[in-house]
């Protein structure tokens, strides 16, 4: 079942999501919600979806970055982003630790802001402690694009959108990003727009 994705301007995207209890995590309702979120994310398609994005202020997100999503990028762009496939998994009540300054800049989009993108600085590496779909503690150490996905989705659980972190002068439609900036580095885009 595909769920409606909340878009920028809806209050739920700006609220602090609440943690799930161990009883909730094991409930049939949450298990079904996870499956619906996965279907919604894959249908979009997207690489992550947080519960606030479907109007539910819970500290729950799903992530999956499939190899088929790399098709629009050259091997050099994939290498530059350090992008590798990430299998489907669930984050519940995550705690994020940045492993360095947010100084890696790439264009980023969001299912809650369809049709737009901007350059967003993110940390290259992160450490995340969370519970999985069964309530088991997990420690994730990630770098490159996977670290970016984790930061983006966990931001949603705290009412933060990429709009709050973007380099404002790089904000544009996805069509224009593809038309003008697809094969440019972040430094080239920033120089061109005076950012």
Catalytic residue IDs = 153
98 by DSSP, 3-state: which? strand
3-class secondary-structure state, position 171: coil
Lateral strand order in the sheet of 86-98: 48-50, 60-65, 86-98, 125-131, 137-143
> Which of 125, 140, 80, 85 has the alpha carbon at shortest distance from 107?
80
Burial of 135 by CB count in 10 Å (0-12 exposed, 13-18 middle, 19+ buried)? middle
């Amino acid at each position: 079942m595909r769920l409606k994705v909340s878009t920028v301007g809806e209050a739920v995207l700006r609220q602090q999501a609440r943690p799930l209890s161990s009883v909730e995590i094991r409930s049939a309702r949450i298990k079904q919600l996870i499956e619906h979120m996965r279907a919604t994310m894959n249908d979009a398609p997207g690489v992550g979806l947080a519960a606030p994005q479907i109007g539910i202020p819970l500290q729950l997100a799903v992530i999956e970055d499939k190899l088929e999503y790399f098709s629009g990028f050259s091997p050099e762009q994939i290498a530059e982003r350090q992008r590798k496939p990430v299998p489907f998994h669930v984050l519940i009540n995550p705690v994020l630790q940045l492993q360095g300054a947010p100084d890696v800049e790439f264009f980023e989009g969001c299912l809650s802001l369809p049709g737009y993108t901007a350059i967003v600085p993110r940390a290259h590496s992160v450490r995340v402690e969370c519970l999985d779909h069964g309530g088991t503690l997990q420690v994730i150490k990630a770098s490159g694009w996977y670290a970016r996905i984790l930061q983006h989705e966990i931001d949603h659980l705290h009412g933060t959108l990429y709009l709050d972190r973007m380099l404002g002068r790089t904000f544009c439609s996805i069509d224009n990003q593809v038309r003008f900036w697809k094969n440019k580095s972040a430094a080239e885009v920033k120089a061109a727009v005076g950012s």
